[in-house]
């Protein structure tokens, strides 16, 4: 006798206005078991697509609005202030998604938008901007594969069971800067800086190029206190298979046997967690 049918997890991947990683993100979520829909942000504003029909909102990487006012800033303002055809501000629909147990994922430019929207780290719970992501210390766009390590006290479901990962970064503004000591203390005490650029020993590092941007706390990812919002600078959707990695021949000779990319592990965790919550 077969078991119950799998719980359907629906993910909305937004695009438009310079976002350019939507198809890779949708492909990764599908491989992870979700039903992924790619929609232009204007379709949400016009009421043709409703966030209420989804359990995951994904903001992919790219160059929204050309990063002309700082990466993710205009996108964050659109989400916070622009009203949909229903009269509802889209940011309120995002908060309703979270209140209903949904999750928000932001990668690179999407992470920058979540930070500037106040969804991350949101230590005070009032959705005000507490950190920013600004220009890399190197003064240039960084396109490389990096080693990142999961914080041992992380409670993010996206990182459950994971330790050290190899993922690509592609950004010019990835340096995390924290507003003040109170926010910094809360981030550290709650392990909200849940993924760190690391050295060959797996220890967080400020050393370049292992840390490609000079981020405080060597931070490569943040989660909010609820664990429902997760943002990271590295691109998991660009590491869906071992063969995405330019070093795959060396990795195979060194004994790697799993052909699944390490980025897919994060997306599988997210989809599995949402499915389990929906199935309860």
Residue 121 within any structural domain of the chain? yes
- For residue 223, what are its two tokens? 């989660």
Residue 65 within any structural domain of the chain? yes
Does residue 150 have a pLDDT over 50? yes
Does residue 7 have a pLDDT over 80? no
- Tell me the pTM: 0.95
Q: What is the pLDDT of residues 176-200, one digit of tens each?
A: 999 999 999 999 999 999 999 999 9
Full residue range of the structural domain in which residue 17 is found: 10-279
pLDDT at 280: 64
Q: b vs e for 182-205, b when ≥16 Cβ sit within 10 Å of the residue's Cβ?
A: ebbebbeebebbbbbbbeeeeebb
Work out whether the CA dihedral 247, 252, 254, 255 comes out positive or negative: positive
Catalytic sites, residue numbers: 108, 235, 237
Residue 3 within any structural domain of the chain? no
pLDDT at 15: 97
**Percent of the chain beyond pLDDT 70?**
98
Q: What is the pLDDT of residues 17-56, one digit of tens each?
A: 999 999 999 999 999 999 999 999 999 999 999 999 999 9
3-state secondary structure 196-236: EEECCCCCECCCCCCCCCCCHHHEEEEECCCCCEEEECCCH
Q: What is the CATH number of the domain that holds 19?
A: 3.40.50.880
pLDDT at 68: 77
Residue 4 within any structural domain of the chain? no
Residue 1 within any structural domain of the chain? no
| List of E strands, the chain | 10-15, 35-40, 56-59, 103-107, 131-134, 142-150, 164-171, 175-178, 193-197, 219-223, 229-232
Please tell me what DSSP assigns to residue 72. Answer: T
**Percent of the chain beyond pLDDT 90?**
88
Residue 234 CA: distances (Å) to CA of 36, 60, 122, 169, 231: 21, 11, 21, 4, 9
pLDDT at 5: 47
CB atoms within 10 A of CB 251: 15
Does residue 3 have a pLDDT over 70? no
Q: What is the pLDDT of residues 46-85, one digit of tens each?
A: 999 999 999 999 999 999 988 777 889 999 999 999 999 9
Residue 198 within any structural domain of the chain? yes
C-alpha atoms less than 13 angstroms from C-alpha of 50 in its C-beta half-sphere: 6
Residue 271 within any structural domain of the chain? yes
Residue 192 CA: distances (Å) to CA of 54, 147, 230: 25, 19, 10
Does residue 153 have a pLDDT over 60? yes
- Model confidence band, residue 2 (pLDDT cutoffs 50, 70, 90): very low
Residue 143 within any structural domain of the chain? yes
Q: Which residue has the tokens 């507490």?
A: 130
Which range is least confidently modeled, 3-17, 55-69, 254-268?
3-17
For the chain, the domain total comes to 1
């Amino acid at each position: 006798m077969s078991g119950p049918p799998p719980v359907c997890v629906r993910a909305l991947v937004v695009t438009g206005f310079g976002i350019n990683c939507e198809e890779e993100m949708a492909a990764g979520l599908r491989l992870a078991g979700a039903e992924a829909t790619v929609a232009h942000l204007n379709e949400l504003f016009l009421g043709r697509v409703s966030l209420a029909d989804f359990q995951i909102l994904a903001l992919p990487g790219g160059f929204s609005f050309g990063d002309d006012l700082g990466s993710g800033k205009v996108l964050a303002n659109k989400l916070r202030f622009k009203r949909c055809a229903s009269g509802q501000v889209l940011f309120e629909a995002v908060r309703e998604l979270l209140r209903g147990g949904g999750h928000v994922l932001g990668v690179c430019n999407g992470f920058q938008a979540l930070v500037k929207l106040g969804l991350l780290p949101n230590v005070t719970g009032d959705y005000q901007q507490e950190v920013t992501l600004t220009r890399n210390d190197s003064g240039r766009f960084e396109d490389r594969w990096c080693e990142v390590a999961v914080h041992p006290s992380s409670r993010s479901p996206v990182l459950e069971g994971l330790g050290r990962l190899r993922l690509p970064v592609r950004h010019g503004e990835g340096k995390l800067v924290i507003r003040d000591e109170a926010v910094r203390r809360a981030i550290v005490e709650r392990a909200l800086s849940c993924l760190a650029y690391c050295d060959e020993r797996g220890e967080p590092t400020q050393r370049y190029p292992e840390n490609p941007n000079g981020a405080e706390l060597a931070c490569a990812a943040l989660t909010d206190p609820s664990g429902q919002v997760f943002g990271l600078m590295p691109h998991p959707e660009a590491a869906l298979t071992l063969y995405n990695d330019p070093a795959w021949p060396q990795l195979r000779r060194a004994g790697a046997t799993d052909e699944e990319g390490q980025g897919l592990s994060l997306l599988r965790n997210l989809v599995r967690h949402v499915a389990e919550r929906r199935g309860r």
